[in-house]
Structure 1
């Protein structure tokens, strides 16, 4: 097709069909003949070249013919520039036809260059070259481009038509295409001509195999994109490297972007780019360059962008950090799990810093009373705790591979920012606490939870309620759990005030029946002993015996984890089931560095337990906790405080109970005012978040919003389950069918394929785990990106795809299965068999 035919058939005719009237403005008179040539029995062409007056009359007559349906279309050709302003339109006799119909040109897409590129997309390089030499090449010049270059052998062997698709197929041929290329070498001469014509590559290799041609093509293409994107001159050592001319830039960048964005070719691109970077010694030659552009063609550029983002974060240039993060979001290097872990850590750092700054700006408006501080905490401030927890989780995911300590300044900066905000909250909170007392009026107290939310329901015969006593479920985790359970029934989340001191021994006892009237704390030697009336309650069995005494055969209890694993049966006559979970507190006490990851596992188990309870006919679930906690990662070696002298019991290194001296660094309040009955006259503790012992990364026991304001969740079990996959398949794959992983952070491709648009309603949630033959979990989806940090799950809509990084256990090696699971029933949708092949 000639350029004239293209403009007539693909540009002007569609506008005439749509608008009936089209005005063509052409001051260069380039399009006059092709416009006149469009005249036909049903299409009237008015040419204003010779006489403006006559053509105006002719156009008016043509409009009348359109009205009578004597003709179907009218094209008005005006050899002048299109009027742009209203005043210019008033002086143009043909602007009225433009207003009631269509116009040409209309936007940048109608420029002569754009039209030529659209007409001959396979020859963009030659067309751009022609315009470089002459900004107004004739139609004959454009029509001559590409004449006779049909690449018949390449098209036949590769089964594709356009030059762009031929180039792409030569870079990453399918198995069938590779076999076809092996069977003949007649294509090689055509490939040489194609390379020269399209991207300016003069093939140097004398080899006639696909591999030798592809090696040179890959190097030329990637280096050309790198050179195009570089804002400054190439280093001298790379100055003579062959690269594409400027006219080929768009084609080069389009091919590279297609190779990076197509999941079928991403792993090949990564392997090729790494090899070319090493071969050309780019890291050495370009190591001193500050600005490498915006594309990360090669892996060393991605590392450079990471260093730029780190520097911006440390310099408080949050706009630059966000810009780099946004640009990198779709980078091919997120296909490498280790790289993704570092970017996720930086993203978590940036998000936490931004949130701390936002909260700091409005904090002063919420410190006038303890009630306003609590309201601010449950509505907004708890988001800082969530983001801090997710940041520490990202630190845990990346720390093992940060041998050079690259992220140490980032960790220090972020933790200091979070610590400053929390300390600014803590001062007013302890001051108001000392003046107002505890618990706050108008809020639910933990000691009332059972009697208010559980006991009344058990007065109904046959009503079955499960009471989950979860250790260390702080408020922000309750919010995350509320979101996870929202589809299981009518849910209510409310803040509750813990029983002081905020430790497990006291807090779990406060969750028992009649705790509000019976709980008291006694002193035995140097120990604190909870009692319910005259009965000592210091162990799990004693707590459960207290409930059993109240409810007898209607009551059953057990560990939540064992219930989830079906290790005990719940009798059909059981109306009160107590499930105990200690994993969060236990993991933080023993492994604080990796504990944030365990939190998502604990929430998963609660979710599965709720689903099982629904299946077993329970009507309601109440979830309560003994205390919150604080992650003290910002504290330095000297961030401790001295205990007060006197007759005190030191409780969890965060508070003192008894009596003695006071000082300005401690709050001090009567036990009665703090809501504590028993043998202790006073409660005291640090006004700051400091503890009495250094090195504590996690603690509770003191008085802070994080330790003392906790969630209580009531869930009426009803509603529909997650939509079931019917005409849909959950599909897992790894590196186009590879069966061995060579990294402890492999990236798995996950997708939901459907036969039709009605196959799955709404969104679909999937839990990804690596399991051994015995069912032991040896790898989990790394939080961040598409993986919800709280649930550990991935949510997709029908037809969507995602790349998910698995975090394999460091000590595991061998065969395993990657399983896509229903997060509530743990049913397996599909699985992928792999094995490790780590290079030691």
Structure 2
């Protein structure tokens, strides 16, 4: 390949990424190369002439791009890019801001010399020699590329460049190497090619095994430099002068011969005993040659996160995840995602110091604090989906425990700051809607406007969960999220009763015989049935009250009677799952959030105009309760005691906050209610708790969703493959499946043009009966920790880890679904045949 051909390919690649490209060429060396792109379907505009004419031409072409998906625009200018004040004088500067620029400012790899090296990585020394005497003409570089030929190899492989010849010969799907070995002339040319281009001694790469070993070991050895042990220096490998050629050739192998590379690299590392070498002390960038190097980098990243060094962790995570191993090894892919989540967690902690809460705890939490709760929840969720908590001996459970302790410390500091502010200013905070005013302030105005309202009362939907839910409901709808302040104690009987209409009856708590009940006037609201009856008393036949499960069973097209203007939907699933805290954060929460989002969407299908979602309380999640979490009740008489609150009469004590009278917002036949000032508990310690006064327990969401004007449905297509096949046999419980999201296919609604937008995709893994689930998606960067769905931008092709059940054998189907309609985009069939417990072959 000539330099001109290489640069043409490079510019076409840039155009595929940016649609428009402005080339600045003050030396006019690229003029003919750019003009030649017209023959490849590129619209080439010459902007060297009068600027007014050029500007009009560019404007007309640019406006055609949204209407012509195949249009690629290249603008050629024989001048340098304007900088600073010069941009104000350049009439075309606005276009250079809209489209890509070549060469990119400050991009060393796009200067003339670097491009020449990239075009001829196997001729690095020759290229450097030419540039040592000034900048050669393009014609000189083109001549350099045609100066070394291998006619017999070219005839056998169909390629003329040394790099393409080597790639073709190493492809296990062909018999080219056998044909070369059978031809003395071809074998001689191959020996000359390897010797001259790669600097490898003659006669050392006469078989595919030998050539693979030299290429991969050379990259490994050259990266280690002087730290390579003496025993390995005798293994044949390329000299340092060929490092770039070796690296680029291996990059091509990793790109074009993925599965050959994976198999060969494992075999070579084992044969040479390379895994015994420790890269921990190397200062070089982590290498991607062998799997064990990626494992070592993973271990170093875990150490950096545990040491609280986000910058070092970020560098290691970035390098480790960008390798063929992280992409195609499901265990490593999942592990790297957990470490990424852990790094995000320490960054969130650093960005939300408790000493900045000041006199605005609500504002601080909405801006910063909820990010910590979300990051910790995402970390626990991702760790819970790991197929192995110690992949290749890297202990990720210890990492989770370390960050759980850091989270506990943060919660304690936040709690201390919050209680100090409540003691100063009281509860609820300014700017919040008190829980017993939500119906009056939010729901009733919507009803007064003549709108049909679905009112969702969700047990334990804490504010940060609703914040994530709001993002998912924005497509095709208008969404607003306000913050409410729960009544104390943050328990269901009080919170759910407070969310109903007042109906001219005051809220009261009556304590009798060690128990407590909530009343509106003389009406007890102790049970869900009692509270449903209260709504019906308020609205009569204009109201229905039912569970979320029943709401889901209502069919689209079978609307409720026209008289119904208010539907009250109750959900207790999150709180029920909280009794099993592992299930809450590790697996079931994703399903519960999906069900809730689907219930909201169902409301619009059933003819409702608006949805209001709120909660009785939130929750604290603190795994592994430790010594000191138990809070001693102060002297006095506790007539009711729960984990995070107590009613009664008590002496003041520093370990509790005492609330009474107007601070409560309801009448109670007890002197006061007390809550711990720490995240601790009076009784029954558990990971999942509520009842007290913390931001996580007492800030509740007021999420209002209304229908927006309908958007035109956009078409997307999703395809699944395993090693380029629709049906395949696998010998691992952790196969990596390729998913591609394109722009043509079954419909999914978007509020903007689909191009570059995220598509939500549900992955299910079912047995032959098509109902029994036998696996799930493993942790990865596209996994939404709230829903368990993938969110992938159109135009993306990537791999996702699948975690199959330990006991599953035989056939199973991996299906990609539209989560809203359950329409299938694509599916593949895997036949699981476990021969051993190693990685898939």
- In the superposition, the TM-score normalised over structure 2's length comes to 0.77
Q: Secondary structure at the match of 1:735?
A: coil
State the superposition RMSD in angstroms: 4.0
**Are residues 1:732 and 2:720 paired?**
yes
Match of 1:366 among 350, 357, 369: 357
Q: Distance in 2 between matches of 1:449 and 1:116?
A: 68
Q: Distance in 2 between matches of 1:243 and 1:800?
A: 37
Contact 1:353 1:418 (8 Å CA) reproduced? no
How far 1:246 sits from its partner (Å)? 2.1
Contact 1:786 1:802 (8 Å CA) reproduced? no
Contact 1:509 1:515 (8 Å CA) reproduced? no
Q: Secondary structure at the match of 2:667?
A: coil
Moved more, 418-427 or 244-253: 418-427
Match of 2:224 among 210, 227, 230: 230
Contact 1:502 1:627 (8 Å CA) reproduced? yes
Q: Distance in 2 between matches of 1:349 and 1:236?
A: 38
Structure 1 alignment gaps of length 5 or more: 8-13, 21-105, 208-212
Match of 1:387 among 375, 388, 402: 375
| Equivalent residue number for residue 825 of structure 1 | 821
Q: Are the structure 2 counterparts of residues 672 and 783 from structure 1 closer, same or farther at C-alpha, using a change threshold of 3 Å?
A: farther
| Equivalent residue number for residue 86 of structure 1 | none
| Equivalent residue number for residue 489 of structure 1 | 477
**Are residues 1:752 and 2:741 paired?**
yes
| Equivalent residue number for residue 165 of structure 1 | 164
Match of 1:598 among 588, 607, 616: 588
**Are residues 1:377 and 2:365 paired?**
yes
Q: Distance in 2 between matches of 1:333 and 1:652?
A: 50
Q: Distance in 2 between matches of 1:172 and 1:831?
A: 28
| Equivalent residue number for residue 268 of structure 1 | 260
Match of 1:790 among 782, 786, 791: 786
Q: Are the structure 2 counterparts of residues 622 and 406 from structure 1 closer, same or farther at C-alpha, using a change threshold of 3 Å?
A: same
What is the correspondence of 1:42-191 to structure 2 with a 5 Å cutoff? 121=120, 123-124=122-123, 127=126, 150-172=149-171, 175=173, 177-178=174-175, 185-186=182-183, 187-191=186-190
| Equivalent residue number for residue 631 of structure 1 | 621
Q: Are the structure 2 counterparts of residues 466 and 328 from structure 1 closer, same or farther at C-alpha, using a change threshold of 3 Å?
A: same
Q: Distance in 2 between matches of 1:599 and 1:531?
A: 32
How many residues were matched structurally? 727
Q: Distance in 2 between matches of 1:255 and 1:19?
A: 26
Structure 2 alignment gaps of length 5 or more: 8-24, 32-105, 746-751
How far 1:253 sits from its partner (Å)? 0.2
Q: Are the structure 2 counterparts of residues 582 and 142 from structure 1 closer, same or farther at C-alpha, using a change threshold of 3 Å?
A: closer
| Equivalent residue number for residue 413 of structure 2 | 424
| Equivalent residue number for residue 795 of structure 2 | 799
Q: Are the structure 2 counterparts of residues 589 and 351 from structure 1 closer, same or farther at C-alpha, using a change threshold of 3 Å?
A: same
Q: Are the structure 2 counterparts of residues 359 and 732 from structure 1 closer, same or farther at C-alpha, using a change threshold of 3 Å?
A: same
Q: C-alpha deviations, 1:768-816, integer Å up to 9, x for none?
A: 3123244454444345413333344444444322322334455555433
Q: Distance in 2 between matches of 1:112 and 1:534?
A: 86
Q: Distance in 1 between matches of 2:363 and 2:3?
A: 69
| Equivalent residue number for residue 305 of structure 2 | 313
Contact 1:768 1:781 (8 Å CA) reproduced? no
Match of 1:282 among 249, 258, 274: 274
How far 1:469 sits from its partner (Å)? 1.6
| Equivalent residue number for residue 678 of structure 1 | 668
Contact 2:157 2:176 (8 Å CA) reproduced? no
Q: Distance in 1 between matches of 2:416 and 2:593?
A: 32
How far 1:671 sits from its partner (Å)? 5.0
Q: Are the structure 2 counterparts of residues 454 and 783 from structure 1 closer, same or farther at C-alpha, using a change threshold of 3 Å?
A: farther
How far 1:378 sits from its partner (Å)? 2.0
Q: C-alpha deviations, 1:390-428, integer Å up to 9, x for none?
A: 122233233843285723543343223322222222113
| Equivalent residue number for residue 247 of structure 1 | 241
How far 1:289 sits from its partner (Å)? 5.5
Q: Are the structure 2 counterparts of residues 577 and 171 from structure 1 closer, same or farther at C-alpha, using a change threshold of 3 Å?
A: farther
| Equivalent residue number for residue 62 of structure 1 | none
What is the correspondence of 1:657-676 to structure 2 with a 5 Å cutoff? 657-676=647-666
Q: Are the structure 2 counterparts of residues 800 and 529 from structure 1 closer, same or farther at C-alpha, using a change threshold of 3 Å?
A: same
What is the correspondence of 1:763-778 to structure 2 with a 5 Å cutoff? 763-772=757-766, 773-778=769-774
Match of 1:214 among 201, 208, 213: 208
Q: Are the structure 2 counterparts of residues 551 and 400 from structure 1 closer, same or farther at C-alpha, using a change threshold of 3 Å?
A: farther
How far 1:647 sits from its partner (Å)? 2.8
How far 1:317 sits from its partner (Å)? 3.1
How far 1:598 sits from its partner (Å)? 2.9
Contact 1:646 1:659 (8 Å CA) reproduced? yes
How far 1:535 sits from its partner (Å)? 2.9
Q: Distance in 1 between matches of 2:606 and 2:446?
A: 18
| Equivalent residue number for residue 101 of structure 1 | none
| Equivalent residue number for residue 708 of structure 1 | 698
| Equivalent residue number for residue 79 of structure 1 | none
- In the superposition, the TM-score normalised over structure 1's length comes to 0.77
